[in-house]
């Protein structure tokens, strides 16, 4: 009855209006099909569904394939950046097969690491969802007989978490410039995204080739660390995983959000699971230690990268100082990478002490030279601690002669009496 006044746009005249727009309905149907096709033993997250959602999100806003000219510009920038870094660090090149990725390719290439990072928390979320959904919908006497239903509900939880992760990765893919934006080794390949570089460049009054080369310097510097510091990858990812083991799901908040949830409405599901507010870290000493270790490691990685990039760009890139400040603000204030990470594992990934770490690396180079500075990466026991960031001068001066070759010498004075006796007798 659209001829009545005020009823021209009444959604009640459209029996399908409750399901949203045609695009939302199509998305919900794709997600439901993905859920049905997933193996019950596939794990806590339906990763195929997550990848599909992420790819649909970037394609919807435009994700053209990388053109040959763009690919050549990226490869040349990464190779030139790698040559410049040879002059300012003793760590070997980490750029073996430089690549230019579309946003969809970034999603495909980085999902294996996201899976490693997100699965522990996702498993807790899915288990809680299955129990909460089942308990809220069944009388007590029926819950004991609801085994198959509980399995289906857990699969539905896997779908819901997979949808949230897919939305988060799709959002992040529209913002990143390469494989190392969050300071973690998401890929063994050094790569930049032409679309991400273009988005980063918007509003900057700097030639595009300078921006591309500066970002290539950062990408290549990260990969020198990730490829040639053997313990660093396990140290970073292990700290994230240990922190995630202490994450719990706020059951009462989840129950409240699940009441009246329309599973056919992707936007509502995203709102329910979004933001990471359902994830709560346990305030244990182990949890605090893992967080401190991770934040310190991230600051040291980012501080070293900033230091060597500044040195490599000096005298070559006129806009290097301004670009460095742009990157620092982006990392320090928490951009989309941080929000996505908080959604996936309940952790804000921010190098909060980047400036202190950069100052420490610079002081080390001034005191010990480039070789002495980079030698600190030789073993985790040689690395600065959070306390050292408070007083970098003490670390630089007090540890000047402490290196791997001296570890065995430090063990000799433990029993001086036994060693001195024979010498005196002789």
For residue range 3-52, list pLDDT tens digits in order.
Answer: 444 444 444 555 444 445 566 556 555 555 555 555 555 677 888 888 99
Average pLDDT over residues 124-131: 64
Q: Where do the DSSP E strands lie in 81-199?
A: 99-100, 191-192
15: exposed, middle or buried (Cβ count in 10 Å: 0-12, 13-18, 19+): exposed
Cα–Cα distance, 287 to 217 (Å, whole number): 34
User: Mean of the per-residue pLDDT values for the chain?
Assistant: 77
- Binned at pLDDT 50, 70 and 90, residue 129 comes out as low
Residue 27 · residue 142 · CB < 8 Å: no
Average pLDDT over residues 376-403: 82
217: exposed, middle or buried (Cβ count in 10 Å: 0-12, 13-18, 19+): buried
Residues 314-350 have pLDDT tens digits of 999 999 999 998 988 877 666 655 666 666 666 666 6
Cα–Cα distance, 27 to 45 (Å, whole number): 18
First vs last C-alpha separation in the chain: 114
pLDDT at 120: 76
pLDDT at 355: 86
pLDDT at 404: 46
Residue 303 · residue 183 · CB < 8 Å: no
Q: State which H helix or E strand residue 195 sits in.
A: helix 194-201
Residues 291-311 have pLDDT tens digits of 888 889 989 999 999 999 999
Angle (CA) 337-339-341 rounded to 5° is 70
**Tokens found for residue 147:** 């085994």
Average pLDDT over residues 367-387: 94
pLDDT at 370: 96
Cα–Cα distance, 103 to 50 (Å, whole number): 15
Cα–Cα distance, 274 to 147 (Å, whole number): 29
Spatial CA neighbour of 74 closest among 214, 218, 216: 216
Q: What is the pTM of this model?
A: 0.76
Residues 253-286 have pLDDT tens digits of 766 766 666 656 656 665 665 545 555 656 678 7
Cα–Cα distance, 191 to 155 (Å, whole number): 35
Which carries the bigger pLDDT value, residue 126 or residue 228?
228
Spatial CB neighbours of 17, under 8 Å, sequence gap ≥ 6: 11
């Amino acid at each position: 009855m659209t001829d009545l006044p005020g009823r021209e746009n009444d959604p009640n005249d459209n029996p399908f209006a409750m399901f949203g727009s045609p695009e939302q309905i199509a998305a919900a149907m794709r997600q439901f099909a993905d859920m049905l096709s997933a193996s019950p033993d596939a794990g806590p997250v339906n990763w195929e569904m997550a990848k599909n959602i992420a790819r649909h999100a970037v394609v919807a806003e435009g994700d053209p394939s990388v053109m040959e000219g763009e690919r050549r510009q990226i490869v040349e920038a990464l190779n030139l950046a790698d040559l410049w870094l040879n002059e300012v660090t003793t760590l070997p090149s980490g750029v073996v097969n430089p690549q230019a990725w579309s946003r969809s390719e970034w999603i495909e290439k980085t999902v294996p690491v996201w899976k490693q990072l997100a699965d522990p928390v996702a498993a807790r979320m899915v288990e809680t969802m299955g129990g909460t959904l089942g308990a809220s919908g069944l009388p007590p006497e029926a819950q004991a007989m609801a085994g198959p239903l509980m399995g289906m509900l857990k699969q539905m939880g896997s779908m819901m978490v997979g949808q949230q992760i897919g939305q988060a990765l799709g959002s992040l893919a529209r913002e990143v410039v390469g494989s190392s934006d969050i300071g973690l080794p998401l890929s063994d390949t050094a790569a930049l995204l032409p679309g991400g570089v273009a988005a980063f460049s918007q509003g900057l009054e700097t030639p595009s080739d300078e921006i591309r080369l500066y970002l290539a310097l950062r990408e290549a510097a990260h990969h020198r660390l990730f490829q040639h510091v053997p313990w660093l990858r396990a140290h970073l990812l292990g700290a994230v995983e240990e922190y995630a083991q202490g994450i719990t799901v706020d059951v009462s908040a989840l129950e409240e959000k699940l009441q009246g949830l329309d599973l056919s409405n992707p936007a509502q599901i995203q709102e329910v699971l979004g933001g990471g507010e359902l994830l709560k870290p346990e305030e244990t000493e182990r949890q605090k230690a893992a967080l401190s270790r991770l934040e310190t490691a991230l600051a040291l990685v980012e501080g070293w990268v900033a230091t060597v990039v500044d040195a490599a760009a000096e005298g070559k890139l006129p806009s290097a100082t301004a670009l460095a400040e742009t990157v620092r603000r982006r990392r320090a204030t928490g951009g989309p990478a941080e929000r996505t990470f908080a959604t996936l594992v309940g952790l804000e990934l921010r190098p909060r002490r980047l400036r202190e770490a950069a100052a420490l690396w610079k002081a080390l180079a001034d005191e010990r030279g480039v070789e002495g500075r980079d030698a600190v990466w030789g073993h985790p026991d040689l690395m600065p601690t959070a306390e050292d960031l408070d007083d970098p001068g003490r670390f630089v001066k007090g540890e000047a002669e402490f290196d791997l070759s001296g570890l065995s010498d430090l063990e000799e004075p433990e029993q001086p009496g036994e060693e001195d006796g024979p010498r005196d007798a002789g």
